[in-house]
């Protein structure tokens, strides 16, 4: 599933269509295609893993799920979920979830929860964490209402960087470690973005999909942790378990 930084990249690529009028729209998404005809694309925004195409009075939400893709000025052989034709090109989406959000997009999203948004509020994230003391760190980082945009790669890299075992309980983690985790969730997301833009993300991974801890020269564990049962890669020697 694409994480927040990958959605930022999609947004930046599609920005060439901002201000353009939809000449036609097609696809098998269950929305009113005629409604899009002759509508101006006012803005493209992101919220975590959601790409938001903003028109007057409504927004089209694109969620790429596990295998969603997009193409600009080209098409795939697979079924088109939603495609736009503008005077300056095409924007096509495949294997994605499409939904219409009525009204102002700001009424649908709390942008202070998006770790890559200019309005990100780390103090608000900490307050939300205080409300879930029995949640494991690996699950808490994946809660989109707390850390919108954080996915499994970011989760693993953040916990490794701040020396926290993924099965640590939020309420047992010292405040300074909580501060570090919240800060690193944003910092690493921007590292992810920079490296992804250079097509060198994987070579910077310290924990995700790795077998040896670079700090301890010991084997890393791979387990499906937390309620969400997502893959975690961690070192039991340098990532402290707080329980």
Query: Tell me: the pLDDT tens digits for 128-142?
Result: 999 999 999 999 999
Task: Give residue-wise pLDDT tens across range 231-241.
Answer: 999 999 999 99
Sorted by sequence, the CB contacts under 8 Å of residue 23 that are 6+ apart come out as 37, 38, 85, 86, 87
Task: Give residue-wise pLDDT tens across range 25-46.
Answer: 999 999 999 999 999 999 999 9
pLDDT at 18: 98
Identify the bridge partners of residue 225 per DSSP, sorted by sequence position: 230
Q: How confident is the model at residue 1 (pLDDT cuts 50, 70, 90)?
A: confident
Nearest Cα residue to 234 out of 169, 158, 172: 158
Sign of CA dihedral 181, 232, 141, 50: positive
pLDDT at 146 over 80: yes
Structure pTM? 0.94
Pairing of strands 89-94, 43-47: unpaired
pLDDT at 233: 99
pLDDT at 102: 98
Lowest mean pLDDT among 75-79, 159-163, 184-188: 75-79
Instruction: Classify burial at 131, counting beta carbons within 10 Å of its beta carbon; exposed 0-12, middle 13-18, buried 19 or more.
Output: exposed
Over residues 6-10, the mean pLDDT reads 97
pLDDT at 25: 98
pLDDT at 184 over 90: yes
Phi-psi domain of 34 (left: phi exceeds 0; alpha: psi -120 through 50; beta: other)? alpha
Q: How confident is the model at residue 57 (pLDDT cuts 50, 70, 90)?
A: very high
Centroid of chain to Cα 67: 14
pLDDT at 66: 87
Over residues 204-233, the mean pLDDT reads 98
Q: Which residue ranges form the domains of the chain, and what is each CATH number?
A: 4-107 (3.20.190.10), 111-234 (1.10.8.50)
Over residues 74-101, the mean pLDDT reads 97
The mean pLDDT value of the chain amounts to 98
């Amino acid at each position: 599933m694409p994480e927040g930084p990958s959605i930022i990249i999609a947004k930046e690529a599609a920005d060439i269509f901002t201000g353009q009028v939809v000449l036609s729209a097609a696809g098998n998404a269950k929305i009113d295609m005629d409604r899009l005809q002759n509508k101006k694309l006012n803005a493209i925004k992101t919220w975590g893993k959601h790409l938001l195409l903003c028109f007057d009075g409504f927004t089209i939400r694109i969620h790429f799920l596990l295998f969603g893709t997009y193409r600009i000025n080209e098409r795939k052989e697979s079924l088109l979920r939603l495609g736009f034709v503008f005077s300056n090109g095409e924007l096509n989406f495949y294997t994605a979830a499409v939904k219409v959000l009525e009204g102002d997009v700001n009424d649908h999203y709390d942008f202070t929860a998006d770790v890559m948004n200019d309005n990100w509020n780390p103090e608000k994230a900490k307050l939300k964490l205080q409300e879930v003391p029995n949640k494991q760190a690996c699950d808490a980082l994946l809660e989109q209402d707390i850390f919108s945009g954080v996915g499994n790669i970011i989760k693993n890299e953040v916990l490794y960087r701040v020396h926290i075992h993924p099965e640590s309980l939020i309420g047992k983690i010292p405040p300074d470690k909580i501060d570090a985790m919240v800060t690193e969730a944003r910092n690493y997301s921007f590292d992810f973005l920079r490296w992804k833009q250079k097509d060198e993300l994987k070579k910077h991974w310290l924990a995700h999909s790795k077998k040896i801890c670079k700090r301890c020269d010991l084997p890393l564990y791979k387990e499906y942790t937390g309620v969400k049962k997502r893959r975690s890669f961690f070192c039991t020697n340098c990532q402290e378990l707080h329980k």
